[in-house]
Structure 1
Amino acid sequence: MRLFLCLSTVACISHGYALPGPCSGTCVNTHDPSIITRNGTYYRFSTGGRIAIHTAPSITGPWTYKGPLLPKGSIINLPGNQDLWAPDVAEMDGSYYCYYSVSTFGSQTSAIGLAISPNLETWTDLGPIVNSDPSKPYNAIDPNLIDVNGTKLLTFGSFWNGLYQVPMQTPPTSIRPGSQPYQVSYNRADTAMEGPSVFRNGNYYYLFFSKGSCCGYDRNRPAAGKEYRVMVCRSTFPNSGFVDKLGHSCVNGGGSVVLESHDDVYGPGGQCVYQDPVQGPILAYHYVDRRVGYADGQKRIGWNRMDFSSGWPVV
């Protein structure tokens, strides 16, 4: 018998993890969501469909499809430029920046591109800002931008040698001259980490990332516990010194679980973390519902409030 403790109308707690918050409208086929608000409207950007854009009056929906961010695909001349991944949208100084990935599955020949907008409606593609190939120690996908007192940092990466970060110019349309990406997280024994998100709360910077197998669950289910899950390390600095709850360094295999498979929620990950104007700190992610199916096209958007009162994020 399962025991549930209902704390609010938003979610119930089961086995230590909250169930995803409610969602109405278009909630499926949502990979790697990035959410931002403008003038009371929520905008959701996600992998596929040349970056699909949905809007809603609330985080709960109803979500309505608005079209692709880049209708003609990316101007980056690489395989995958019509199937764009992992958008990250941020507002800086009155402009909106969408960083996105161009790659193919399992390839290290990748690029992080940038599109800019004055209003989240019309976008101009500026092309690549970070590139990778087999000569590089990193893979240039899954970007995330944070502004630290005017210093812009882009965190990115997956597999190979873990997660990397690089300082950006102001405005953040290119890498700061003379800067080279540096490693912020790595696990030599298990390199399956990707999708970093850096979020400040109080005196700490939290490095969230996804770990495990992300996709194709209907064809090849990973061993139990090896599917996608959301991890975290923290530091008093935004660019180094990240450790997990046990004090293990994030560049030496560290990482504490924030959210993993539970109940009918399977493979949560591809997360974004943002400060919601109504709900407070939010973890948004994709997952599949075991009751519905495991195909990639069946992935849903999930979201939960986060409590940092212990010094660590709890959904």
Structure 2
Amino acid sequence: MFSLLQSATAFLITTASLVQGYADPGACSGACWAHDPSVIQRTSDNLYFKFNTGSGVEIATASSLSGPWTIKGYALPNGSKIDLTGNTDLWAPDVHKVGDLYYMYYAVSSFGSQNSAIGLATSSTMDVGSWTDLGSTGVASTSAKPYNAIDPNLIAVGSSYYLNFGSFWNDIYQVPMSSDAKKPSGSSSNIEYDSTGTHPCEGSYMFYYDGYYFLLWSHGICCGYDTTLPATGAEYKIMMCRSTSATSGFVDQSGAACTSGGGSVLLASHGTTYGPGGQQVLPFLLGVFTDSSKGLVLYYHYANKNVGLGDGSYLFGWNVLGWSNGWPTV
């Protein structure tokens, strides 16, 4: 949604005690700038790759979530072959391993527009210079659609794939994908909708844990905090619902339907942490902690009030998820 402004200047964000009921972000050093980060561990050598919104999708690597992160370059330095405004400033990467290849879904759009499309690039290694742009997946939108086709997120359910996407308008949608996860194979359906205000829901992420599919999304104003600070509580925060199905029936902790304004807060501003969002989840894997039984890690971007509120100052945050009565906690 903007050009990359960060440098490789090192930041160190240390783990602190609980503030207002939330744990502060875990430690990060090196290239800790982030916006809509997607993190995945390469299976061949356990190296972590972090992908960021902006330009041709920045790639940084580290041996652990806490860094030190080193910028390597861009996945698609020449942008996308999708013929839309914004095709050199790609948003919201979502990276998964599908078969023997790594897939990177991304969005092409411009701020406030429904002229949007979700693209796909593939790589066998994730290294800079290895990515092949396949262009549009066929998931796209115009002002004639009820949704905005940005912020993709793939989830595998058995041998089937689904792509979640959406931002504002009628919020979060889902479409079944082909067996190779490259093209839609059916119609889109609405899985989350907040009818109030401007419907500020986007950046969904779905994961499975202990019998439930958890749907996370970012709610509120994402950007421009250094220019106009939102009213208290109107800034980004991370919401959640869950269902025993990956395709419908999502409810919040009070039982309210996710498609009728339901949603419980997982993480909000606290202390010096402001506007957390752009979240994803990954399991504890090799190279992070010695105790792999700890479960899942939530990661996201946020503004640190002591560092700066501008988009170019956003940082990479992560926390080990706790669990209470079947729901994740930070």
Give your verdict on TM over 0.5. Answer: yes
Shift of 1:291: 1.3
- Paired residue for 2:141? 132
Greater strand fraction, Structure 1 or Structure 2: 1
Structure 2 counterpart of 1:287, from 279, 286, 302: 302
Shift of 1:118: 0.9
Taking the aligned partners of 1:14 and 1:215, their CA distance within structure 2 comes to 23
Structure 2 counterpart of 1:16, from 8, 13, 21: 21
Taking the aligned partners of 1:150 and 1:10, their CA distance within structure 2 comes to 39
Moved over 3 A (4+): none
- Paired residue for 1:71? 77
Q: Which amino acid aligns with 2:37?
A: P
1:192-207 paired onto structure 2 within 5 Å: 192-207=200-215
- Paired residue for 1:242? 250
Shift of 1:12: 2.2
- Paired residue for 2:230? 222
1:313 aligns with 2:321: no
Match of 1:251, SS state, is helix
- Paired residue for 1:32? 36
Q: Which amino acid aligns with 2:326?
A: G
Structure 1 counterpart of 2:117, from 111, 121, 125: 111
CA RMSD after TM alignment: 1.1
Shift of 1:273: 1.3
Match of 1:226, SS state, is coil
- Paired residue for 2:160? 151
- Alpha-carbon displacement from aligned partner over 1:1-32 (angstroms, at most 9, x marks no partner): xxxxxxxx95421221000000011112x100
1:254 aligns with 2:258: no
Taking the aligned partners of 2:68 and 2:307, their CA distance within structure 1 comes to 20
Taking the aligned partners of 2:248 and 2:241, their CA distance within structure 1 comes to 11
Match of 2:37, SS state, is strand
TM-score normalized by the length of structure 2: 0.90
Count, aligned residues: 304
Match of 2:312, SS state, is helix
Match of 1:17, SS state, is coil
Taking the aligned partners of 1:310 and 1:173, their CA distance within structure 2 comes to 37
TM-score normalized by the length of structure 1: 0.95
- Paired residue for 2:187? 180
What residue ranges of structure 1 are gaps of 5+ in the alignment?
1-8
Taking the aligned partners of 1:263 and 1:37, their CA distance within structure 2 comes to 30
Q: What is the percent sequence identity of the aligned residues?
A: 52
1:97 aligns with 2:106: no
Taking the aligned partners of 1:253 and 1:288, their CA distance within structure 2 comes to 26
Taking the aligned partners of 2:307 and 2:318, their CA distance within structure 1 comes to 18
Structure 2 counterpart of 1:60, from 36, 49, 66: 66
Q: Which amino acid aligns with 1:149?
A: G
Q: Which amino acid aligns with 2:91?
A: W
Match of 2:299, SS state, is strand
Taking the aligned partners of 2:170 and 2:191, their CA distance within structure 1 comes to 10
Taking the aligned partners of 1:16 and 1:304, their CA distance within structure 2 comes to 13
Taking the aligned partners of 2:174 and 2:278, their CA distance within structure 1 comes to 18
What residue ranges of structure 2 are gaps of 5+ in the alignment?
1-13, 290-294
Match of 2:136, SS state, is strand
Match of 1:313, SS state, is strand
Shift of 1:308: 2.7
- Paired residue for 1:50? 56
- Alpha-carbon displacement from aligned partner over 1:103-162 (angstroms, at most 9, x marks no partner): 000001000000011111211101111110001111000000010101101000010011
Taking the aligned partners of 2:265 and 2:307, their CA distance within structure 1 comes to 25
Q: Which amino acid aligns with 1:12?
A: S
